[in-house]
Structure formats: structure tokens, C-alpha cells
A and B are shown apart, each in its own frame.
Chain A
Amino acid sequence: MTYPLWLIPALPLAGFLVNGLVALIAGWQRAAGRTAAWREAHPDAGHGDHGHAPHGGGHGHDDPAGHGHDSHGAHGHGPSVPALPYWQRLFHGVVGVGATGLSCVLALGVVVPFVRESLASENGLPAVVETAYRWMSAGPYVLDIAFRLDALSALMLSFVTFVGTLIHLYSVGYMQDEEGFGRFFAYLNLFMFSMLTLVMANSLPVLFIGWEGVGLCSYLLIGYYYDKDFAAAAGKKAFVTNRVGDFGMVLGIFGIFALFGTADFSFVDMARHGAMNGHAPLSVYAVCLLLFLGACGKSAQVPLYVWLPDAMAGPTPVSALIHAATMVTAGVYLVARCSAVFVLAPDALTVVAWVGAATAIFAASIGLAQNDIKKVLAYSTVSQLGYMFLACGVGAFGAGMFHVFTHAFFKACLFLGSGSVIMAMHHEQDMRAMGGLRPKIPQTYWTMMIATVAIAGIPPLAGFFSKDQILGAAFGAGHPGLFAVGLVTAGMTAFYMFRLARMTFFGTFRGSKEAEGHIHESPATMTVPLWVLAAGALGLGFLGVPEVLGGSNTFMRFLAPSLAASHPHEVSIATEYLLMGMSVAVAAAGILVAWRWYGAAGATPQVPSVQADAFYRGTGPLGPIVANKWNVDEGIEALVLEPFRKIGTALWRGFDALVIDGVINASAFLVELTGDLARFFTTGNVRNYILTLTLGVLTFTLYVWIR
């Protein structure tokens, strides 16, 4: 290598700084200009420092039903806020895309030789670790800022930078009407920096830098349209669930510390070679489950998945980059990275597998009945992430990572395609108001169709190979139950994806005449990334063609040195063909049903599909429940949040509106306990304070005495 590894994350960081600074300065100038213009227009408004209306106006929303829409462009702002001037957009775009693109080039420059040499050698190349500098050394602990290049991080590195660059490019077109164009690219670059730090880190604490960084960027980008209440609420949900996950993550890191005496990834080798420092396996279970809790938060697994669908309030490129292709797979990466530790705790792996399976089928079932195009994709993402954990849980870490890889391409393509559709439809996201878009936006149509076929698992597209290997591994590992769940989910996936395609592109247009006239294909900055991603969805599966189909499964061979040695339970070739046939048949069935039901010429916005409607009615009470996302949000509200709220008024006051005057429900004893805890200590009365102090002294004295 002729250049240091740290350059790869450093470039997006530089992009963030440049874009951020320029946006900051330009923003000041603009604000100053606007204030001056406002003063000119209101010469009678005195000195302008007494709370007059906000500049820019237009923040009010006359469209409460607009919740959940990726309100984009001029919709979010008043007409008085113009888009940036051309040269400014050009600058931000060039810096933003350039920084990521260059880092992609650098990444591929190290990854490609690494892959080639690794495949050429017998047991793969050893990990390349480059220490940038010493971070901390205190007490017995030493921690370096070090970057690692091994098979696993090379894989993540390649697709994160590649897909990231494409999405940056796409955003240039998608966000062109935004005043916050520069700010947006700054955040996006900051995200890239964090994500690259995450995947290249050589120790858990450094990984944690990236882990928190991507979380923060995700939070800020969900709230990008922050004048919308919904975005704020969605940000809140993402925040809460991620806190639960991070709690597990931090404890997991300290647990790894306690187990191995180090937090850099040498612990993986230690675990592999059976150096357990004489710790009881129970603690290994605990550490694995804690790390998995962290992974669940980041990767939206049951029960912490609720935030991901709501995160779609952010701009579509953000959904594609952060909430589909990269960040949400960080949890899978973490589990794969620590796979050597996980295999020491087989029951913990079983938990991983079942949580993954439950998420997969549960989210897929919700996806069946969603009408918002981005929501379908969001639940689909949750479901596919479930597949990945299912794979890890049955010990097929390689298959899980393969799915991460292929999923990044086809799901990013789908999201960007949906963004293109949404833009064509002028920010309409409801598929019931679409239909017949095929001839009007042909490029979007073709690319999305390729990705749809890929995710549905039709050979020989990418999704088929990765999904098939997961199902095969589940069956081979002796979990027919998991296999069945996976199979059913595959059918559902095919169904809801083709439902999406049929409702969007086929049949007749169900929107207003006026809307129909405005439909237009997106600019080249958006369609080129779509085509590249579609090509990936089309061809990347061939990297991992299993032996049974005459391939050599290059992908697995490459990854093997980074992962725990899995012990594939050999199944006969006949069985393998049978499994493959089953998964294709189920997918085909799903497609067939969706094709028959949806996209017919007679569909109306109210009844997009007569057959589906009849079926829906036939399901009795279940249908509406599924359509309402299994009432999970409500269930959580009733079962978890409500009692929790009661138990800790104090806790919930923290981020809900202040419960006025601290009215406490007398029936809830615990409320009084927590609420009064703070009140007891700080009544505002000095005499009580003195009493507290005195009691404190007495208690401590007694405590020492009787101890």
C-alpha cells in the first residue's frame, strides 16, 4: 500500500469540514441579507429586536395529513426561501461527492489487491493493522487509533464507499431545491466518515466512535426537515431505541474488556484459540447478548425495530444510504466481527437466530399491507435485516454478510428509485395515487424492476444467491423451524415487492389529471446511480455461486479467515436442489399472486385491488391489525410506555411535555416514590436541606459502624 488507510475515512471528514464551514458562512451572509431586506420592507418595525414573526415564513403546516411524507423541496419552506445559487450548489456537490468518491477510489485501491492476493493464497491474508497514533494509555490499558484491513472490513469498505458515492451523486439531483443543500452534504459526509471509522476500526472503542457517529448523523438527518412535527417525533423514537441498544453495546465493550483484558480485535483470535482467561461461560453468554442488544438497536430488530419505519421521514437518499444500505447493517457486522466469541455461546446464537427470524417474518407481514411506498421498503429492510441475523444465528456468518452485501445494492436501488418516483409524483408517497408510471419514467421503472426481481429471490439475480444460502444454512444447521419461517418470508417478500411494482408502474394512473401532467423522469445525476446499482443487483450474486451450482463460492472463501469457523452440516446435493427449488417456487407464487391482484386497469385509489380487498375482508380481524403494523406502536404504548410513564413520571417528563404542576396519580405508588425522590431531596426549604445533610452524616456513620 502506498498510502495510509486512515486517508479513507479522513477524506469524507475533510469534506464535512469544508462543506460545513462554507455552508455556515454562506448561511450567515444569507441571513444577514434577508434581515436587511426584511427591515427595508418593514421600516416601521422599530429595531427589529422584539419578537416579530420568524424570517422566511411558511413554517406553518396546513397539511396535517402530510405526516410521514418525505416533504422535499419547496414544500417544507415558504416560497421566500430560495434554493441556493448555482455555483454554491456546484461547490457543495463537488466537495461532497468528490470527498466520498475519492475515498471510494482509495478504498478500492487497497481492497482490490487485498482480495486478489487473499484469494490467491491458501488461507487468506492476515489482517493489516495500521496504527495512526496512540489514543490512550492509562493503567494497564492501551488503546490505539488503529485501522484494520481484513476480509470483513474490506468487504464493508468496498460497498459502503461505492454505494455511498452513488447516493451522494444522486443527492445532488434530489436535493437541488433545498436551502440546506450544503448542510445536507456536510451531514452526509460526516456520516460517511463515521461509517468508515466503524467498519475499519481495529478495536471496539474505536468502532464505538463510528457507532455513535452514525447514530448522531442518522438522528440529525431524520430531523432534517425539522419544521415538521413528525420528523421530530420520529427522531425521538430513533433516539430512545438506540439508547437501549447503546447501553447494551457499552456494557458489551466493558464485558469484552473484562473477559479478554483487551478491547482491540485481537480478542477475536484469542476467542478462536480458546483463551478464555478461565471465565465461566455464563459471562460469555451475557457479553454476547449485550453486544447483540446493541446490534438490535442499530439494526432494527424486534423489539427495537420501531424506529426504522419512522426514520423514513428523512430525505430519501438518507433512507437509502443510512437506513437501508449501510448503517443498519452495522449490527450484523458487529455480530460477524465478534463471531468467534458468539460461537462460544451457542445458546446466545440461537437467540440471535430466532430474533432474526421473528423480525423477518413479522416485518414482512406488515409490509404486505402498507400503501406508502417508502414504508413498504422500510419494512422490507427490517425484514431483510432479520434474514441476516438469522444467518448469523445458525452460524452462517458468511451467508449473512453476503446478504448484507447484495442487499446494499438492490435496496439502495429500490430506495433511490422510490425517491425518483416520489419526485416525479411531486412528493406523493401513497401508491394508491400512483399507477401506470411505466412509460413516463422508463429508466426508474427498469432499474427498480431489476432490483425488485433481485430482492424477490429469482435466479440468477443477486438476492437469490444470498437468500438461498441463508435458507440452506438454516436447514443444514438442523433448524427446520427457522427454515420454514425464512421460506414463508421469502414468499411474502416477493408478494409485497411485486405489489409495490404493480401498484406503481402498471395499470392506470389514479392521481389527479394535473398531477399526471407533471410526471417527469429524473435528471441524469439520479438515473446514473440507479443504473449502476441495478447492475450490481443483477450481477453481484455471481460472486457467491455455491458449489452445487458449479461455482466456487469465491465470496465465502474470501471471507472465511475473518469469521468463526463454521461447521456446515453437509446436506446432499439432491436436498440442496430441492431447497433451492422450494425457495424459487415460493417466490414465484408470491409474484404470481401480486401480479394477478394488483395493477389491473380497473383499480381505484380506494380499492387498488379487488381481489386483495376481498381477501383482506376474508381475514376477519387479522387484516386490519396487520395493516396497522400489528398495532405494535399502540401495543407498546399500552403495555410498555403507559406503565413506564406511570412508574417514572420523572423519567418521562424528561422528554415529554412537562406534566403540568407535577400532578401525580395517587393510585400509582411508584410514581410518588420516584417523583418524590427528587422532591424529597430538594424541596427548596433550607431546613429540609439541613435535615438531609444531618441524616446523611448519621446514615454514613451508622453504615460504617454496623458494616
Chain B
Amino acid sequence: MNPATMSAAAAAGVSVMSVAPSAYLVVGTILFAIGLAGALLKRNALSIFLSIELMMNAVNLLFLTYARMRGDAAGQMVVFFVIAIAAAEAAIGLAIFVALFRARQTVDVDKINFLKW
């Protein structure tokens, strides 16, 4: 958003934050819930992992919103950390799933229960 359009918007009496922050919180929470549901319902390890990534990004959204609401940049800083960690996690997770597939020819978690009880 360049300054020109911003001031134009301001002149028109429309707030930049036309959407209330609480709406972002709701979206974030819903996204988290979707991720949670995916983690619970999916059988493919990769899908579960992607669902968990969704949960983390939902948290990112929450952090950004809180940062905005509180005017504290620490929340935005957190997001970078989380993104970096999620990337590292993806790298390691995929490597593990590849190795798992090589060993067991499947990444269906319902079939991976050699270790139990």
C-alpha cells in the first residue's frame, strides 16, 4: 500500500484497518481448528504434517494481529522465527517420511504401528 493510496483512503474517511482485529483472531482460530481437524482425521503422514503447518501459520496470524493490536513489534518478530523453524521442520520431516517410506513402503499412519503398548 503506497502512501498515496493510504492518504486517499484516509481522506475518503475509510479506515485502513477497515476490518476489526477481532476478525483476524477469529480467522486465525478457525484456521487452527481446521489444521487440528486435519491432523486428527488425515491418515497420510504428509497430510498430517501439512495440517500441523496450517496450525502454525494460524498462530502466525494470531501473533501478527496481537502485535498490531498492542502496537508491539515483538509479535511480528516471532513470526519470522516461526516461519524459519517451520521450514527447518519441513526439511527434516520430509526426510524422515522418505526414509519411512523406504523402510515400510507406506506413509499411512494407520499401518505404522509396529511399536505399541
- Establish whether A and B are touching in the complex (CB under 8 Å): yes
Could you tell me which A residues sit within 8 Å of B by CB distance?
Answer: 662, 678-679, 682-687, 690-691, 694
- Chain B residue total in the interface (Cβ 8 A): 14
Question: Shortest beta-carbon distance, A319 to chain B, in Å?
Answer: 41
A-B CB proximity, top 8 nearest: A684-B116, A684-B113, A686-B109, A685-B113, A690-B39, A687-B109, A682-B117, A684-B115
Which residue from chain B places its CB closest to the CB of A681 in the assembled complex?
Answer: B117
B109/A694 in contact, CB under 8 A: no
Residues of chain A with a CB closer than 8 A to B62's CB: none
A686/B48 in contact, CB under 8 A: yes
Contact of A682 among B39, B40, B114, B116 (CB under 8 A): B116
> In the bound complex, how far is the Cα of B39 from the Cα of A690, in angstroms?
7
A691/B117 in contact, CB under 8 A: no
> In the bound complex, how far is the Cα of B44 from the Cα of A414, in angstroms?
73
Residues of chain B with a CB closer than 8 A to A679's CB: 117
Could you tell me which B residues sit within 8 Å of A by CB distance?
Answer: 36, 39-40, 43, 45, 48, 109-110, 112-117
Inter-chain contact total with CB atoms closer than 8 Å: 33
Question: Shortest beta-carbon distance, A203 to chain B, in Å?
Answer: 42
Contact of A691 among B40, B43, B45, B115 (CB under 8 A): B40
> In the bound complex, how far is the Cα of B39 from the Cα of A391, in angstroms?
68
A686/B112 in contact, CB under 8 A: yes
19 CB-based A-B contacts, threshold 8 Å: A662-B117, A678-B117, A679-B117, A683-B116, A684-B113, A684-B116, A684-B117, A685-B110, A685-B112, A685-B113, A686-B45, A686-B48, A686-B109, A686-B112, A687-B43, A687-B110, A690-B40, A694-B36, A694-B40
Residues of chain A with a CB closer than 8 A to B48's CB: 686-687, 690
Question: Shortest beta-carbon distance, B51 to chain A, in Å?
Answer: 10
> In the bound complex, how far is the Cα of B53 from the Cα of A126, in angstroms?
73
> In the bound complex, how far is the Cα of B37 from the Cα of A687, in angstroms?
11
Residues of chain B with a CB closer than 8 A to A684's CB: 113-117
Which residue from chain A places its CB closest to the CB of B113 in the assembled complex?
Answer: A684
Interface centre among A678, A679, A685 (most CB of B within 10 A): A685
Residues of chain A with a CB closer than 8 A to B43's CB: 687
A687/B40 in contact, CB under 8 A: yes
Residues of chain A with a CB closer than 8 A to B40's CB: 687, 690-691, 694
> In the bound complex, how far is the Cα of B45 from the Cα of A690, in angstroms?
12
Residues of chain B with a CB closer than 8 A to A694's CB: 36, 40
Question: Shortest beta-carbon distance, A435 to chain B, in Å?
Answer: 57
Question: Shortest beta-carbon distance, B40 to chain A, in Å?
Answer: 6
> In the bound complex, how far is the Cα of B116 from the Cα of A662, in angstroms?
13
> In the bound complex, how far is the Cα of B90 from the Cα of A411, in angstroms?
74
> In the bound complex, how far is the Cα of B109 from the Cα of A524, in angstroms?
73
> In the bound complex, how far is the Cα of B40 from the Cα of A575, in angstroms?
83
Which residue from chain B places its CB closest to the CB of A650 in the assembled complex?
Answer: B117
> In the bound complex, how far is the Cα of B112 from the Cα of A38, in angstroms?
47
> In the bound complex, how far is the Cα of B109 from the Cα of A678, in angstroms?
20
Question: Shortest beta-carbon distance, B21 to chain A, in Å?
Answer: 24
Which residue from chain B places its CB closest to the CB of A697 in the assembled complex?
Answer: B36
Question: Shortest beta-carbon distance, A682 to chain B, in Å?
Answer: 6
Question: Shortest beta-carbon distance, B33 to chain A, in Å?
Answer: 11
Which residue from chain B places its CB closest to the CB of A675 in the assembled complex?
Answer: B117
Residues of chain B with a CB closer than 8 A to A691's CB: 40
Question: Shortest beta-carbon distance, A556 to chain B, in Å?
Answer: 60
> In the bound complex, how far is the Cα of B33 from the Cα of A694, in angstroms?
11
Query: Knowing that A684-B116, A687-B40, A694-B40 are A-B contacts, what are 15 other residue pairs whose CB atoms are under 8 Å apart, sorted by A's residue number?
Result: A679-B117, A682-B117, A683-B116, A684-B114, A684-B115, A684-B117, A685-B109, A685-B112, A685-B113, A685-B116, A686-B48, A686-B112, A687-B110, A690-B39, A694-B36
> In the bound complex, how far is the Cα of B117 from the Cα of A662, in angstroms?
11
> In the bound complex, how far is the Cα of B43 from the Cα of A211, in angstroms?
54
> In the bound complex, how far is the Cα of B36 from the Cα of A686, in angstroms?
14
Interface centre among A662, A684, A694 (most CB of B within 10 A): A684
Residues of chain A with a CB closer than 8 A to B114's CB: 684
> In the bound complex, how far is the Cα of B38 from the Cα of A690, in angstroms?
11
Contact of B113 among A662, A678, A683, A690 (CB under 8 A): A683
Residues of chain A with a CB closer than 8 A to B115's CB: 684
> In the bound complex, how far is the Cα of B113 from the Cα of A684, in angstroms?
4
Question: Shortest beta-carbon distance, B39 to chain A, in Å?
Answer: 5
Which residue from chain A places its CB closest to the CB of B51 in the assembled complex?
Answer: A690
